[in-house]
Structure 1
Amino acid sequence: MTSQQTLTVNQNLTIRLLRVLRYNKARIERSLSLLSEQHRPLFHVLPFLLHVNHPDLPGYIEDDNTPHGLNNYSYRDQIKFALLEVFPHLQGLFDDIRQLWPRSRSIDALVLMGSIGTIAQSTDSDFDYWVCINSKLLTPEAQVLLQEKLTAIEQWAATEYGIEIHFFLSDIEQVKACDFGVAEGESAGSAQAVLLKAEFYTTNIVVAGKAPFWWLVPETFSEQQYYSLMQQLNEGNSPDPNWFMDLGHLEKLDPNELFGAAIWQLGKAMDSPFKSVLKMAKLEVFLENLEDEQPLCNLLKKRVHNGDEAPGSVAIIDPYALMFDQLIQHYESEEQYDAVNLLRECLYIKCAPKLSYPVKEGQATFKRRIMAGYAKQWGWIRSEIRHLDDLDEWSFQELVQLSRRIHRFLIQCYRRMSSKLSTGQQLVSKEDMTVIGRRLDTFYSRKENKVEFLRSGFDNRVYCPQVTFKLTKKKNNKVVWSAHSGDLMGQYGEALAETRMIQFPSPIRLVMWGVSNRIMNEETRFFLDYDTDPLTENDVHNLIKHTLELFPPVKINALPRENLLSPQQIKTCMVVVNFTTPRPRVSVDEVWVVYSTTWGEMFVVEGIEALDAMWFELQEVTPRPPCYVHIPQCKHKKYLFEKFTEKTELPFKLLD
């Protein structure tokens, strides 16, 4: 290559670098604009805490071998102001910064990934940082010390500021090889290694240290061209190779990862449906455009390199909005308008711009401007927007209806993708398939006597502070117990139909379903309508108290991996005796058996004979599952317990 050609290459690289830096700066400014005043200083304080190791500051580890220090990190007034806001009593320490400054630097880069700095950032957004290191330069002992430091800073941020910070210690060579180890209980590397890297490249913000060299390489380059370009950089010239780290090239995604990624997203949807709806749609869109579409991260990079068609306009690019536009274009072309409407609603709820609420002139964030543009483009009227803004005011039935649409879409996506993929070629380990598959089975499958999951994903929004139990007697002498949201005492007709959550032949099943799905707890106020004698509000509260103690609500994604890789066993058993029987009775007339399993399922079975079928699981396994009896308060409680144990000959304990 001639000197003129080299000069031209360097000039092009410098132009791309300037636009990348401008885009990165805009993302930082956007993230700061959406942070509360209390949390804003932390954006500057957290990198500083990784850079130093001092006993007066969070994250201090009392070992001289503790790695710290960020490459290419400098002390600026902005950082000092933030430090003084958070640690006003340490001004003297920050005035003489030389006493803190590290002699060597062990961390190559601190990089944010995820929704921060996009329209999807919210007050609940986690801060997921990659702490990039060269593990060849750090001993295993040093890496343990660094992890201790990172954990201490995470705990400080959570305790003092209530903000969720996650530092992922990332070895540059492993990331380059798409080896992400074990994440969140399953091997993310097994299920979706290249996809994870693509998501990182799509959303990353370089907070401090070196930038991924990937940012400088044109999106059309092959891996060979990528490394050829890297070798042309010379120290001391611009761009300087010391400014970058090599996390690897990404030319195309691997279709063999799609099956694992799809079931991964189905699993994630059990806790975070809005995020998973968009991500599952992204997987399907990728599959449909496998031959002619580049990964989203490369399309994003192309727009950044082009300055979004005009130098200076690069700051308006939003990775989340870019992804969303791609999804909508696909489903509109397929005339799947139900999916289009669902994705729009999910995006709006996820971003929560509160467009129906007024904002002072000049105080509109970039998120509000982008989302207002979408709402206008979609033809939404203000009443529609206000309805989504007031999600906290939605009725139980409205929440459930949206939940069903979300999970229906996820399952349909999964089925369409499965029909086009050969599972035999998919890069997902057998163990991961077992774990994820069993979680999905626990959450989605219907089985006889099983307490079904509501599939809401709305966290505490489905909780009902007031619940009415009603008893309806049918002509065939059968009874139906129903649970209604709110105080419905004495009401009938349409009011009942609109507020009914579920119905069963027994109030015990109502309680188990309500507790399992976080709809009812000890704070819930219960109203028992007429004809529910002898049951009292106190009886319901006592049953709920014991149910919460023995069968706390399960988060499927938190089920221990080892449990799901082992045969299913009964975890806890509780028998409820004479719950709706007249209290003077001294015979065991009514028995309901409630038990949970190590795979996160709960079952409610009527009749004492159910215990005969469970004898092996209750008495022949080691260790034996704890077994309890719940009897409503009455004069003959202990006598009834003795009569019950005589019949079963099993080691039960009486609950108070």
Structure 2
Amino acid sequence: MDNIRKTAIDLCRSREDAGIRMALSRILIQNKSIFLEYNRFRKRLFSELAPKDSEIILYLLPWMLSVNDVSIPGYVDHIKQNFRVFNIETEKDILKRERLFKKTFHIRNDLTVLKPAEKSLPVEGIYTIGSVGTISQTSSSDCDLWICIDKTLYDEEAFDLLTLKIDRIKDWMDSRLKMPVCFFLCDVEDIRACRFGGVDCESCGSTQKKVLKEEFYRTAILTAGKIPLWWVAWDRRQTLCYDDAVREWQSAPSVYYDLIDLGNLDFIDKRESFGAALWQFNKSLTHPLKSILKMLLLKMFLESPKEELLCHRFRRLILDQPRKPHSFVDPGAFTLIAVLDFYQNMDPQTLQFILKCFYLRYKVKLFSRTMTVKEETALELFRRYGLDRETIYELNRFSSWTYSSQIRFGEFIVLLLVDIYKDIAHIARDVTGDVAAQDLTILGQKLSASLKKKPHKIPVLSKPLETLKMPSLTLRFCENRWQVFPDNDDGAMIVEKRDLVYCLAYLAWNDLYFPGQLRMLPNPTSAAMQEIINLLQKIREVFGVYDVSSIDFQNFLQPEHTEKLLIIINFAAPPHADVIHTLSVIRLNNWGELFVNRFTLQERFISFLENIAESSYNTVEFFHVQKNAPHSGKLLAKARRLVSKYFVLVDRK
């Protein structure tokens, strides 16, 4: 009797388990269908925002990666097995374009050039991450693409060949796309474990883990390949354990063949949020407007670490809404709404300024003649938070604001970012243990290099946008000082100094000089316009423009030393001078700071060289002298002899 009872109980449990599994299976399949519809919505949005580039990224790229023909970019010789994006033969949007692809590369073959799957190494999926296909995508957005593989299926040679193929495809795309494309070859197991050392190669090292994965799940577009299991492992009626979804996925590979386990994401530790905030603030020093949203987002994570993650909230919103065409929420709009709702009790004036920053960052133009899907999505959003019509019209005219108004706006952005960072540092003052000490040192030095005032240092201009639409500039000599001001704003002085070289270095370093947009008023000095243009070009050629984010991290762990010197001889002096009257020195150090010194006494110039030579090594020296001056060769030789006593000179043009 006991055996019969036990058998009956086991049978009931088996039926119960089978029922649970069937219910789970229905949930996963239903959610998969919704995700695919949402993914098509994102692709349509991307296509509307960047018609030509999106066509190559969404459809041509997976096809090129899956073929190996000498006519097609990415061809690799001596390959044992082709690479193939999972299930590409079922991608109707790609297959219907294949004839056009073959025509583009002059392939006269009516048959598909895709090889059978069993003869190829699989690429599990290609995914975008970030702003593409959202309202935050702009003309200056780049496209980060994760190419995911199971590295256990690849030997060293195959992995190297795939890397080579990707590099060659990227080279071809770089020559044809307006949008910069960055490829990151990712191992599935690394993504599961949140190991993004190879993915986020720009990071400080100790500060990027789950934050990046949260952004991936919230913003990814599946270009081609497998659907992340995480995206469909959700049930509106009850909490669904991700491990249960994994077991179900593993139990029926023929049913869930198009899903991939990239790992769960349950929470983000305060230490990680703080570390990511450090890194984001570092980026904000060069691109402040782009960083405001992410800084506020990370601050939100820190202030409410136990709150449901944004990616979870976004997934629930997508999977639990009525499925109507074009009814899906854009992740860029969703993130902005989440941040604004969280900070709705902030000082109204600050919140209004943040709204203006978001408006400019997203580069929308509401109430304009042409309303794209981007404007249609943004209209209700900005109305909802009180950005009135008059303010919107004012922001639409931002490019025609006076120079001084634009710069003031940029300075407010920097002040806001510093305030946000101070709040973050205060919140996280007890959680910095997992952030490497050297990362904190690097950030401190970068802050100093960008913001700290030092004698003879060229200050960094706070630009509200990456590039200002600059008016023509006027250079004048007034009361023994050189001045530069914009033609449309006489009251705004861009730079003023006795030393003309300093003024020119300021323009070049802050990327304010453009050929044909600088004129000079008549003056009693020997400065000639052509020589001014020549020097500006030389400064740009030697030093480039300010970009602290491009400085190698290790530089900030070293003592300050000079890396480049440009010695300028007798600039703006009478052209027939045969002796050295003035020596101007533009100096760049290893922290990305630019300095300008001017000497009229040779003794002081020698003392200056002695001081910087003591702490400098591997310094690169350049010289500049007026090209057509009768004694230019003699003056250059004398300056080189002076400098050679302290630095090893190499012949340079």
Q: TM-score range by the shorter chain?
A: 0.7 to 0.9
Residues 159-198 of structure 1 mapped to structure 2, 5 A cutoff: 159-182=175-198, 186-187=202-203, 190-198=206-214
Is 2:475 the counterpart of 1:469? yes
Aligned residue identity for 1:372: L
1:316: Cα distance to partner?
2.1
Check if 1:596 corresponds to 2:588: yes
Q: For 1:501-551, what per-residue CA distance to the aligned partner results, in whole angstroms no more than 9, with x for missing partners?
A: 122232211101100111115x14433334452222123123213222322
User: Superposition pairs for residues 495-534 of structure 1, below 5 Å?
Assistant: 496-497=490-491, 499-521=492-514, 523-534=515-526
Q: Deviations over 1:290-321 (max 9, x none)?
A: 24x211101101112212xx343784211111
> Are 2:473 and 1:480 equivalent residues in the alignment?
no
1: distance between equivalents of 2:631 and 2:382? 64
**Is 1:614–2:609 an aligned residue pair?**
yes
Partner residue, 1:323? 335
2:300 is the counterpart of 1:282? no
Structure 1 counterpart SS, 2:490: helix
The answer to whether the 8 Å contact 2:337/2:381 transfers is no
Q: Is 2:541 the counterpart of 1:549?
A: yes
Secondary structure of the 2:406 match is helix
1:221 is displaced (CA, Å) by 12
Deviations 1:578-606 (A, max 9, x none): 43555566654444322111221111123
Q: What are the Cα deviations for residues 475-505 of structure 1, in whole angstroms up to 9, with x where unaligned?
A: xxxx43221123x8xxxxxx521x4212223
| d(CA) in 2 for partners of 1:645, 1:135 | 56
Amino acid at match of 2:561: Q
Aligned letter for 1:469? L
Deviation of 1:553 after TM superposition, in Å, equals 1.7
Unaligned runs of 5+ in 1: 474-478, 489-494
Q: What is the DSSP-based 3-state SS (H/G/I as helix, E as strand, rest coil) of the residue aligned with 1:121? A: coil
CA contact (8 A) 2:228 2:262 kept: yes
1:204 CA displacement: 1.0
* Aligned equivalent of 1:395, options 397, 402, 409: 402
Q: C-alpha offsets along residues 329-369 of structure 1, whole Å, 9 cap, x if unaligned?
A: 232212x223322332232223223324313xxxx543221
* TM-score (normalised: structure 1): 0.87
Q: Which amino acid aligns with 2:596?
A: V
**Residues 275, 435 of structure 2: 8 Å contact kept:** yes
**Amino acid in the other structure paired with 1:618:** A
Instruction: List per-residue Cα deviations over 1:368-419 (Å, max 9, x = no partner).
Output: 2111213433554555434433444443323312211211111110011101
Separation (CA, whole Å) in 2 of partners of 1:621 and 1:545: 26
Compare 430-439 and 566-575 and name the one that shifted more: 430-439
Name the CA shift for 1:584/1:93 in 2 (closer, same or farther; >3 Å). closer
Amino acid of the structure 2 residue aligned with 1:343:
I
Give 1:470 deviation, angstroms.
2.4
Tell me the distance in 1 between the aligned counterparts of 2:19 and 2:54.
Answer: 49
SS in 1 for 2:343: helix
Query: In the alignment, residue 46 of structure 1 is paired with which amino acid?
Result: L
Contact 1:126 1:163 in 2 (8 A): yes
Q: 1:454 aligns with which of 440, 446, 461?
A: 461
Q: Is the 8 A contact 1:235 1:242 kept in 2?
A: no
* Deviation digits for residues 171-216 of structure 1 (CA, Å, limit 9, x no counterpart): 1111111110145654465212110111111101222221211112
Letter in 2 for 1:230: V
Residue 547 to residue 232, structure 1, CA distance change in 2 (3 Å): closer
- Identity in percent: 22
- Name which of structure 1's ranges 575-584 and 66-75 shifts more when overlaid on structure 2: 575-584
20-29 or 420-429, which moves further after superposition? 420-429
For 2:490, the aligned partner's letter is: L
The 1-side partners of 2:385 and 2:23 are apart by 45
Q: Does 1:352 align with 2:363?
A: yes
Distance 1:545 1:41 in 2: 36
Distance in 2, Cα, partners of 1:36 & 1:99: 25
Q: Matches of residues 50-449 of structure 1 in structure 2 within 5 Å?
A: 50-65=65-80, 68-88=83-103, 95-97=110-112, 100-102=115-117, 103-182=119-198, 186-187=202-203, 190-218=206-234, 225-233=241-249, 240-291=255-306, 293-307=307-321, 310-312=322-324, 315-334=327-346, 336-359=347-370, 364-380=371-387, 382=389, 384-422=391-429, 425-449=432-456
Aligned with 2:301: secondary structure? helix
Give the total of aligned pairs: 632
Q: CA RMSD in A?
A: 3.3
Q: How far is the alpha carbon of 1:155 from its aligned partner? A: 1.2
Q: Given the superposition, is the C-alpha separation of residues 543 and 237 from structure 1 closer, same or farther in structure 2, using an over 3 Å criterion?
A: closer
Give the whole-Å Cα distance in 2 for the aligned partners of 1:37 and 1:553: 31
Indicate the SS of the match to 2:176: helix
1:259–1:423 contact (8 Å) kept in structure 2:
no
